[in-house]
């Protein structure tokens, strides 16, 4: 009986271990660029986000999130900055279908993506 129950519970425990952890009762989500979006469209969305509430100072030259210097990486940082600041004011992670939500922290090296409750 115990062995049968263990065979049932083990896969369930493995699956539950892959579910994102909760923080203060809420899941943490980051907004990142969709890799399938063309660079030109991503750049338009970055420009919009930076003009409308995103803190884009960290993706400027010699700042912690400048490298890698790609449109996709800069877009992910700008989209997340906008989303975190505006999500409780009606802002979303859409950017004309150029972005998506992820439960995986996209931070890397000294570039830290914020997540706000």
How do the domains of the chain map onto residue ranges? 22-117
Q: 101 or 15: whose pLDDT is higher?
A: 101
Q: Pull the structure tokens for residue 47.
A: 């420009």
SS3 50: helix
SS3 22: strand
Average pLDDT over residues 68-76: 98
Q: 26 or 60: whose pLDDT is higher?
A: 60
Band of residue 8 on the pLDDT scale cut at 50, 70, 90: low
pLDDT value of position 95:
97
pLDDT value of position 20:
45
Q: 16 or 87: whose pLDDT is higher?
A: 87
């Amino acid at each position: 009986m115990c062995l049968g129950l263990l065979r049932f519970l083990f896969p369930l425990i493995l699956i539950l271990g892959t579910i994102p952890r909760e923080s203060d009762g809420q899941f943490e989500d980051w907004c990142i660029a969709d890799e399938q979006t063309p660079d030109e469209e991503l750049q338009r969305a970055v420009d919009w986000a930076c003009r409308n509430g995103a803190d884009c100072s960290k993706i400027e030259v010699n700042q912690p999130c400048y490298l890698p210097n790609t449109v996709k990486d800069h877009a992910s940082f700008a989209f997340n900055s906008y989303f975190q600041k505006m999500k409780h004011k009606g802002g979303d992670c859409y950017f004309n279908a150029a972005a998506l939500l992820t439960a995986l922290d996209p931070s890397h090296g000294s570039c830290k993506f914020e997540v706000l409750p």
